[in-house]
Amino acid sequence: MAVILAAPAIGGLAVGLLLFLVPGRRAGGPADVIEAQAFSSDRLSLRGGILGAMAAALTLGSGGSAGREGPVIHLGACLAAALARRVKLPDRDGRALIGAGAAAAIAASFNAPIAGALFALEVVFRRFSAAVLAPVVIASAAGTIIGRVAFGEFPAFPIPEHRIAATWEFPAFAMLGAVAAAVAVFFQLAVMGTDWIFRTLAVPLWLKTALGGVCVGALAVFFPEVLGVGYETIEAALTQELPLGLLASLVLVKTAATALTLGSRLAGGVFLRRCILVQWPEQPSDLQPLRSCPSQLLAEPSTPSSGWGP
């Protein structure tokens, strides 16, 4: 129990001290990447990307409740921006290279080259353009290859085989979308509210991050599933290994832990924070209840003061 409580606090203290070296005293995220792509690649610095990635590693390694994909996207874009400045590319080409770096980061992280390319085109560039399609696709494929060499060739999550048993399941899918949207709004409000509370505290930054770590550790004493990125919890939920009561509790507890992590300015993303999953059985007569698990949140908050990422 003491280790669970102390680890996030010590990690939070270390992150708070490290942030004094980061430009703006916050770790960057996808919002910074989108801004740099829209205006200038000079807005992303290699120092900020590396230090931000180190802060995210300390946060997640010590048990902070956040995602890894946001910092990885920011780091990939910072590396691309540094390369563009190194070879003195025109600003337009440099901004295109930023999107390619983000695509490679997503592709390597999820072992999904198509998802990486679509993410860059739809989120970073916000349009489909023939001028950026080639570098994005090539970078996404290269990122996937490197990721498979480093981590192996396997899907990000094991998805159980599923078959639609009856047409009346389709209204339930629509209900799932409505519930997921409500959870997304609740999540954003929780993170913004926590961020506002921590910003009003008249204490040093390192104390804010340490306090956020203490709060996350206190929650983890009772719900250890909130620690870290949460891939193991997602896999257990997808394979129906967690009881319904725990899954329902995690919707609230994981939201609170992530809000405390991001609101206290610890580093991390929100790609794998929350979703509501419906697990339908093979036969309609065996209909199972709603299943909840921490997973991808499509609606991403973008308050600059916290550096939230996906």
The pLDDT value given to residue 240: 78
Q: How do residues 53-95 score in pLDDT, each as one tens digit? A: 999 999 999 888 888 888 899 999 999 999 998 988 888 888 8
176 neighbors 291 (Cβ within 8 angstroms): no
The pLDDT value given to residue 271: 67
Q: How do residues 228-275 score in pLDDT, each as one tens digit? A: 887 788 878 777 788 888 888 888 898 899 999 998 889 888 765 544
Compute the distance between CA of residue 211 and CA of residue 222 in angstroms, rounded to an integer: 18
Question: Is 70 exceeded by the pLDDT of residue 193?
Answer: yes
The pLDDT value given to residue 234: 80
Q: Could you tell me which residue, 303 or 141, shows the higher pLDDT?
A: 141
The pLDDT value given to residue 273: 53
| Alpha-helical runs (H) found in 152-294 | 169-200, 205-222, 231-238, 244-263
The percent of residues in the chain predicted with pLDDT above 70, rounded, is 86
When pLDDT is averaged across residues 203-211 and rounded to a whole number, the result is 91
Residues 6+ apart with CB under 8 A from 243: none
Compute the distance between CA of residue 88 and CA of residue 94 in angstroms, rounded to an integer: 9
Q: Could you tell me which residue, 80 or 157, shows the higher pLDDT?
A: 80
Q: What is the mean pLDDT of the chain?
A: 81
User: CA nearest 228: which of 266, 172, 195, 200?
Assistant: 266
CB atoms within 10 A of CB 177: 10
Question: 141-160 burial, b for 16+ CB within 10 Å, e for fewer?
Answer: bbbbeebeeeeeeeeeeeee
Q: Which of 162-166, 242-246, 274-278 has the lowest mean pLDDT?
A: 274-278
74 neighbors 91 (Cβ within 8 angstroms): no
Confidence grade of residue 291 (pLDDT, cut at 50, 70, 90): very low
The pLDDT value given to residue 274: 45
Question: Is 80 exceeded by the pLDDT of residue 226?
Answer: yes
41 neighbors 33 (Cβ within 8 angstroms): no
The pLDDT value given to residue 216: 92
176 neighbors 278 (Cβ within 8 angstroms): yes
Q: What is the largest CA-CA distance in the chain?
A: 64
The pLDDT value given to residue 39: 83
